[in-house]
Amino acid sequence: MTTMTQQGGAFLVNTTDPRRVFTPEDFTSEDLFIGKTAEDFLTNEVMPHVERIESGDHELMHQLMQKAGALGLLGADIPEVYGGLGLKQTVGALISEKLNPQQSFALTHEAHTVIGTFPLMYFGNDAQKSKYLPKLASGEWVASFALSEANSGSDALAMQTKAVLSSDGTHYILNGEKMWITNSAFATLFSVFAKVDGKITVFLVERDFAGVSFGKEEHKLGMHGTSTRRVILENAKVPIENALEVGKGHYAAFCALNLGRFKLEAGAVGGLKYILKICTEYAKQRKTFGRPIASYGMIQHKLAEMAARTFALESMVYRLAGELDSVFEPIVPNAEDAPSQYHRAAEEFAIECNIVKVLGSETYSTMADEAIQIHGGYGYTEEFPVARAWRDQRLLRIGEGANEIVRFAIVNLILRRDAAKRLTALDAGQRASETLSRPGSLDMPYFDDPVDSLFAAAQDAKTLGLFFLYQAKERLGEELMEMQEIPAAISDIFIAAYALESVALRLQKMTARNHPRLVAALRAAAVVQINYTKEAIHAANYLIESLPSLEDLLDVYADPFNSLTGLMGRLNSHGINPMEARRELAAEVIERGGWML
């Protein structure tokens, strides 16, 4: 299938053709077979050993990674020329989804296959890739990503680790200490970030290099099965041929983290489906006052929320995966210009990667908490897997960039691309401002068709976000990014718009194909529309109250369907009964025993 090739962030100002958007219904039988291989591996090889994994048996985890490598589950993204499978981003996302129900294994897998491997794969030369990538693809070696330091968490560019070229020019000498390094108990190859004359550079550091040592295991809230230690570099000697291009390390970090955010939230789709299944099964068999708790409206509300928010995230993740394929597929991995091509591809959809990261991690967090609530007292014990899911998922709002930083980055990237003439967001925001100040500019929407209704809501949310982006930039100028709450709220509107539009595009394709589970999808979409229009309006109200001197734009004309207030009113006029919509979706979930599609 040919996926869309529009520029990253362009969804804000362009119309997207649904025929060129990838959805889960587009997977081929071969793709699904690979997904089933990952699912079977998790079921048969990983889940029977959960107690040992959670006790911190790192030797077992290493063995599981080697087994995964033998099945090709570590080489999905690595090109065939370097010993991998060279699969599409969509299939790589499917593997991440299927492995997530054991989150410690999933994080170990992601730390190896994504952030541990991508700096080398994207920015290494042919000799470096030929030497190391086949070992990483097979599982013979395990990779790790060593960026964070004690005093430079989200501000990675403030790192203190330094590298100095030896007097004979044969090697670099590294000194510094890296923190929170996943896979450190058994990883063989570390992508270590250090400064050479102030310029961030990536070094391929083997475990046995002189001067490399490790701290003790960190005592973490969750992810108990992962190995997390400090990597200590004391006059560590690294051959000069193991340095990637000097001064390009910040590109390698940002590109790896972009794709890491995407892959983590592809995994979150699988984790959410898993806890939905567990909660549905429990609700059907657990009785109070002589009735299964699944028959109560409040429990049905929670099950419907899990299903609808998972449906939205799944639609967003695979839409983004298809977009990533459009920029990665043309790259010749062993070409001389491959690093520059990979760099462009990995940063192109950074806005969307950030959007998915925020929504996915926060959805997982909220729904894992609700899973405990459904289980009541049992959910608060380690006897049920929802307690582990709750502890483990909490990392996702911090890892690969804290959500506060990521929200800020969404608006920052949009403004930077606008300044570079790669986006026309501010022009669109100015047009929205002119339209909303003109009486009679808004018509009553037509909501009879649910897909049209969803598209209309997505467009209105985009208009709302662009309006506030323009107004904030005009009123605050360079101070905008210092008032972080403002860009964060604008980001929330754009996140809601991407969710609404992704679901609308998916529904349009399912409708055209008369998909057998279309009714269930429509019921999920109704709850999606309720939730994400509400979130856009909530962020807009915050901005109205917080932005200076906005009163002049809040005139309400005789016709209620014009002006900013009218736009927000139209977003909220979806005509959907929230209780009925959630109960209808919950019925689908209960009947199917979990995921309704």
Task: Supply the residues annotated as catalytic.
Answer: 400
CA distance 194 to 233: 10
Residue 99 vs residues 28, 266, 270: alpha-carbon distances, Å: 19, 10, 7
Residue whose C-alpha is closest to residue 92's, from 148, 133, 36, 31: 31
Task: Note the Cα 96 to chain centre separation in Å.
Answer: 11
Phi, psi of 453 (to 5 degrees): -60, -40
DSSP element (H, E) containing 319: helix 297-328
CA distance 125 to 104: 32
Residue in this structure with the two tokens 């899990």, named with its chain if needed: 306
3-class SS of residue 363? helix
CA distance 459 to 434: 16
Residue whose C-alpha is closest to residue 389's, from 218, 589, 185, 224: 224
Residue whose C-alpha is closest to residue 9's, from 415, 368, 381: 415
The CA-based diameter of the chain, rounded to the nearest angstrom, is: 81
Contacts of 540 (CB under 8 A, 6+ apart): 464, 468, 489, 493, 568
Residue in this structure with the two tokens 């330094």, named with its chain if needed: 162
CA distance 406 to 418: 18
Per DSSP, 398 falls in state: T
Residue whose C-alpha is closest to residue 202's, from 236, 234, 242: 242
Phi, psi of 415 (to 5 degrees): -70, -40
* Inter-helix orientation angle 103-110/58-70, to 10°: 60
Phi, psi of 287 (to 5 degrees): -115, 140
The C-alpha angle 457, 460, 464, rounded to 5 degrees, equals 135
CA distance 310 to 274: 11
Positive or negative CA dihedral for 468, 474, 475, 479? positive
Residue whose C-alpha is closest to residue 414's, from 431, 426, 405: 426
CA distance 105 to 593: 25
Phi, psi of 438 (to 5 degrees): -105, 125
CB 84 within 8 A of CB 137: yes
